[in-house]
Structure 1
Amino acid sequence: MIFGYIRVSTEQQSLQNQKHKILEYAQQHKLLIDEFIELEISSKKSQKERKIDILLEKMGEGDILICTELSRLGRNMLEILNLVEQFNQHKIKLIFTNQPELSTNQNEALSSLLLAIYGYFAQTEREIISERTKQGLSAARAMGKVLGRPKGAKNKTRILDPYKEEITRLLTIGVSQSSILKIINAKLDKPISMTALRYFIFYSIK
């Protein structure tokens, strides 16, 4: 089967424009689209909400997924690379009409190399952010700021403890700390600061 996946994040973007490009590609290569999945949803939503899980359930070995570009699949390169690997494990071919060099239906070696390069830079960026966080906390300690938990609070549940697993997962897929802060604050009665988040990440998430 051949699926077309179309996703836009804002009203300014066009579902029809993406669909036209996919249909144009299919016509040129004599392919018949069996089903389209069309979504108006932010890339910040979960994989399930973006119906990626449905694609993985419906599609199998030899099937083809056509998108206009990599960014339609996920919110950042680390997440996208993980999704590409999942599709590869299911032996599903990926076609990106605007980025044919990354498509896995023809030159798999080249697409794997380019994706590996993108992944390297994405991972490097995450490591730089992590290092900056550690340096910032070290500088704060050097200036005499108390960063530890208040005396007697060792066994108390911290405000971010219930979200540790979620924060860890978001960091793993490369979500920026500023984005994580927005996500977590939306769930809290009283918003926390970026410093509080960085402290929690530094001392609680290794």
Structure 2
Amino acid sequence: MNNQKLEIFEFAKKNKLEVNDFIEMTISSRKTSKERRIDEMLSVLDDADTLIVTELSRLGRSTAEVIGLVNELIKKQVRVIAIKQNLDMKQHDMNSKIMITLFSLFAELERDLISLRTKEALASKKMQGIQLGKPKGTIQKSKFDKDAVKIQELLALGLSVRKIANYLGYSNHIGLNTYVAKRKLRAGV
């Protein structure tokens, strides 16, 4: 993230632009647009503002998302600059729209190729007889481990898993029930 900030500051200085604010966004397929701070960015930017990004792929997870976001920004009359692609997008500029689509498509293609190579490598390992993943029966660490003794004591007293979860401050009694079953904590009861 610091390299991106530095690159943006250098670009702004070279082009006599002023950087007023940074919004650090996380591009993750598991997070909502609110969690990635895209909604915040859209609400902060107004007419005649300029958004500078190091590259277009930083704006979204897919071609459609990047194009949609850039189109929304251009409709709001926000100038969008992508440094690495040397793009300066303004409203009603057909060349900018074509370039956005192409660069976004290439970024998505690159992600797809990486995914494909990963899947092929895993398939190759499997063909070689290498077992993927953790061995069957492996017990992973759990957030409940720190309270294992207390949980076992409370089970021995006859408390339900739901009551134990509430007592210990866990919101997920189903997860605790799975933990109790996998660790066979009721066996000593």
**Partner residue of 2:93 out of 83, 108, 120:** 108
- How much does 1:116 deviate? 4.0
Q: TM-score with structure 2 length normalisation?
A: 0.51
Aligned residue among 46, 56, 61 for 1:70: 56
Displaced runs of 4+ in structure 1, greater than 3 A?
A: 116-122
Q: Supply the AA of the counterpart residue of 1:109.
A: M
Counterpart contact for 2:51–2:79, Cα < 8 Å: yes
* Distance change in 2, residues 1:28/1:53 (3 Å): same
Matching residue of 2:82: 96
Q: After superposition, where does 1:139-178 map in structure 2 within 5 Å?
A: none
Gaps of 5+ in 2: 108-174, 176-189
**Offset at 1:120?**
7.7
Q: Which residue of 1 aligns with 2:71?
A: 85
- TM-superposed CA distance for 1:110, in Å, is 1.2
Instruction: Specify the alignment match of 1:17 in structure 2.
Output: 3
Instruction: Report the secondary structure of 1:38's partner residue.
Output: coil
Cα shift at 1:114: 2.1
**Range moving further from structure 2, 53-62 or 109-118:** 109-118
> Any residues of structure 2 matched to 1:116-135 within 5 Å, and which?
116-117=101-102
User: Shift in Å at residue 119 of structure 1?
Assistant: 7.0
The Cα shift of 1:112 comes to: 1.1
Report how far residue 77 of structure 1 moved: 0.8
Q: Which structure shows the bigger proportion of residues in strand conformation?
A: 1
Query: How large is the RMSD of aligned CA atoms in angstroms?
Result: 2.9
Distance 2:64 2:102 in 1: 11
Superposition deviation, residue 20 in structure 1: 0.6
**What is the CA distance between 1:43 and its match in structure 2?**
2.5
Distance 2:106 2:19 in 1: 34
Q: TM-score, normalised by structure 1?
A: 0.47
**Deviation readout 1:20-46 (Å, 9 max, x if unpaired):** 10000000011110101124x342122
Is 1:30 the counterpart of 2:16? The answer is yes
> What percentage of residue pairs aligned between the two structures are identical?
36
Matched, 1:57 2:43: yes
Letter in 1 for 2:10: E
SS at match of 2:65: helix
Residue aligned with 2:95, SS:
helix
User: Does residue 1:47 correspond to 2:12, yes or no?
Assistant: no
Residues 24, 37 of structure 2: 8 Å contact kept: no
Per chain length, whose mean CA-contact separation is higher, i.e. which structure has more relative contact order (CA < 8 Å, sep 6+)? 1
